[in-house]
Structure 1
Amino acid sequence: MDGNPKIVVVGAGAFGTALAAVAAAKEKADVTLLSRREEVAAECRRTGRNEAVLPGIELPAGLAFSADTAVLMDADIVLFAMPSQEQRAAAQSYGASIRTDATIVTCAKGMEQSTGRLLTDVLDEELPGHTIGVLSGPGFAADIAKGLPTAMVVAAADGDVAAELAGILSGPTFRLYPSADRIGVQLGGALKNVLAIACGIVEGAGLGDSARAALISRGLAEMSRFIAAKGGEGDTVRGLSGLGDLVLTATSHQSRNLRFGIALGRNGRSDGQGGELVEGAFAASVAARVAKDLGVDMPITEAVAAIIEGKLDVRTALEQLMSRPITQE
């Protein structure tokens, strides 16, 4: 991309705002945060903050705010920063305004619940002809927006495209590593949310740190098997989008998935409602279903899905996991 690229971040939630902030902080790109509502854009322009989602954080002076989809017509790079289950609808809504040669990057962590498809596959279908990438890894929105050191991954089918995106979007405190494994990077981001819920259940039920460590290690093995079965690289789980993101979300109470799991652990079971509030609740049921179709053994994921759906209580799930046949690690 010649000159200063034009970047539009679609979705003015916490993560979208944070990504727009670090991209604009470099002062080498023309960055616009696109909101669905003009009142949100107007308030950001007036105050220099997006107080509703990132309270107290000043945004770069060079960051533009808009609710007009016309800004997409000049964009070289478009970041889709809405939740995973909204990505298809967003592509359908904004697609006609996006330049045919623009690169699209999905920044959500999940799989489409209705189809079990990866988000890059969804966007490939809805936005044919575009280069589709994915941004994932360990990074809380508030930390990114505050300029705290953060490292994540950007993946594209073409490694050269991933490297170019990493160079454009990285900044002094925000480092992106390029990858050509779109499948592994996406599934790492989706499945770590499931495992974060599992670790929250362990904490909420008072099962101890040893149990958490066992879940993290055995959960990584599940992730690796699933990624390989889906055509990705199993070793990707050892990087930022797998182990790195899992350590963050399985140990920090900033994680919505961990907090949701803690509530489940304290209650001992789910009422079958409320899971829509966290990405991991979607991913658990989707991954369990797809894994069964692929013949991939994922006992932790299956247990989390069953607990969230109210089909299994925490004590019974633990008994089932601990009574599984002993096999080679």
Structure 2
Amino acid sequence: MEQRVERVAVVGAGSWGTALAMVLADNGHEVRLWGHKLQQINEINQFHTNKKYLPKVILPEEITGYFDLEEAISGVHSIILAVPSKAIRETVGKINSICKEPITIVHVSKGIEPDTLLRISEMIEQEISPENLDSIVVLSGPSHAEEVVLRHPTTVTVSSKNMDAAERIQDLFINQNFRVYTNPDIIGVEIGGALKNIIALAAGITDGLGYGDNAKAALMTRGLAEIARLGMKMGASPLTFSGLTGIGDLIATCTSVHSRNWRAGNLLGKGHNLQEVLDNMGMVVEGVRTTKAAKQLAEKYEVNMPITNVLYDVLFNGVNAKKAVDLLMARGKKDEMDDLTNFLE
């Protein structure tokens, strides 16, 4: 399919930002990949590699690394924001201070801010001046960077309050290996993408404890029910949770060794404490921060989220992982349809 060539800035040179830069380069776009470490940017420009995040991958020459943010975003209409959720406000604030014309921000991070309980698109809205913002688009779905860079078939979803902008970003990314759908339910897309990391942490714990497929299947199914219950209370469509950013992302994140949330949970299940796990990972584990926010959201909206609650206790209150599973299994009996019928109400 014929695509219009654009100049695009990808802000965040981690594994996911780099993988998306490769997709854009494959589509013939001029790609500027910004990172905050000069040594990494020099490596990208000199050797066309980003070995810390994607070893053995050769980057297309259409990708140019930038250390200066103002240079990176000069003259671009679309910025792909690929930084951890905790860095969103600071990064968008910097973009806002140097913007010279309205831009579309495509955020690809998955998280919810503790205490404010804002989704990432809402955080962006707070940090950028209206005159500098064209649209905010969310890109989410079951997509491990390690597979995207190998050009393995991957399917994601884009969403926005402005669906014309979402369709433009769909055109920017879509190709034979990277299929992009649209979905107008921005709340559901962001909630599904953020909360699946909580369930992935829990899935890693069950694997670390040596439990099998029965436990993981139950955890994922009941976890999806929790995500949908909260999402619907916040205004999301129940149908979104049966799609790519719901069950699709949940499957990928709970079952793959590529998932840093699963890997972190696996270490917790094997007896390591949270600080040891985070030190071992060396990269951001979004599910840890999101667990705090989800517990607060559950209390705010009066939604029953037992998996989230016991995971919170494991992460922050020192509860033993095995005991946490026992607590979940020992709860009072219920009718499964009580939850499932909520999807239709």
Q: Normalized against structure 1, the TM-score is what?
A: 0.94
Are 2:78 and 2:106, in contact at CA under 8 Å, matched by a contact in 1? yes
- Structure-to-structure mapping, 1:125-204, within 5 angstroms: 125-129=126-130, 130=133, 131-204=135-208
Q: Pick closer, same or farther for the CA change 1:38–1:265 going to 2, 3 Å.
A: closer
| Structure 1 segments unaligned to the other structure (5+ residues) | none
For residue 73 of structure 1, report the CA deviation from its aligned partner.
2.5
Give the distance between the partners of 2:334 and 2:129, measured in 1 at CA. 45
Give, in whole Å, the separation in 1 of the partners of 2:12 and 2:36: 7
Deviation of the 1:207 alpha carbon: 2.4
Structure-2 residue corresponding to 1:216: 220
Q: How far did residue 121 of structure 1 move?
A: 0.2
Structure 2 residue matching 1:64: 3-state secondary structure: strand
Q: 1:294 aligns with which of 296, 301, 307?
A: 301
Q: Where does residue 44 of structure 2 map in the other structure?
A: 44
Q: In structure 2, what is the equivalent of residue 244 of structure 1?
A: 248
C-alpha displacement at 1:3, in angstroms?
Answer: 5.0
Question: Does the CA-based 8 Å contact 2:33-2:72 persist in structure 1?
Answer: no
**Take 1:308 and 1:106, find their aligned partners in 2: how far apart are those partners?**
27
Compare 11-20 and 304-313 and name the one that shifted more: 304-313
Structure 2: stretches of 5+ with no match in the other structure: 337-345
Q: Write the distance in 2 (CA, Å) between the matches of 1:107 and 1:41.
A: 21
Shift of 1:312: 2.0
Identity, % of aligned positions: 33
Could you tell me how far 1:273 is from its partner in structure 2?
A: 6.2
Cα distance between partner residues in 2 of 1:132 and 1:126:
12
TM-score normalised by length of structure 2: 0.90
Q: Which amino acid aligns with 1:56?
A: K
Other structure's SS at 1:292 match? helix
Distance 2:329 2:278 in 1: 25
SS in 1 for 2:293: helix
Question: Which residue is 1:24 aligned to?
Answer: 25
Distance of 2:274 and 2:265 partners within structure 1: 13
Q: What amino acid does structure 1 have at the position aligned with 2:88?
A: Q
Q: 1:318 aligns with which of 308, 314, 325?
A: 325
CA distance in 1, matches of 2:138, 2:179: 15
Could you report, residue by residue, the CA deviation over 1:155-185 in whole angstroms, capped at 9, with x for unpaired residues?
A: 1112232122111112221111111111111
Equivalences for residues 32-111 of structure 1 within 5 A = 32-68=32-68, 69-111=70-112
Distance in 2 (alpha carbons) for counterparts of 1:16 and 1:304: 29
Residues 291 and 172 of structure 1: CA distance in aligned 2, closer, same or farther (over 3 Å): same
**Residue 32 of structure 2 contacts residue 64 of structure 2 at CA under 8 Å; is this kept in 1?**
yes
Q: Which residue of 2 aligns with 1:119?
A: 120
Count, aligned residues: 326
Report the alpha carbon displacement of residue 114 of structure 1 after superposing the two structures with TM: 4.2
**Is contact 1:272-1:309 (8 Å) kept?**
no
Distance 1:63 1:272 in 2: 35
SS in 2 for 1:51: coil
| Partner AA of 1:165 in structure 2 | I
The C-alpha deviation readout for 1:188-207, integer Å capped at 9, x for no partner, is 11111100111111111122
Determine if contact 1:135/1:153 at 8 Å carries over to the other structure.
yes
SS of structure 2 residue aligned to 1:146: coil
Return the alpha-carbon distance in structure 2 between the equivalents of residues 100 and 175 of structure 1: 30
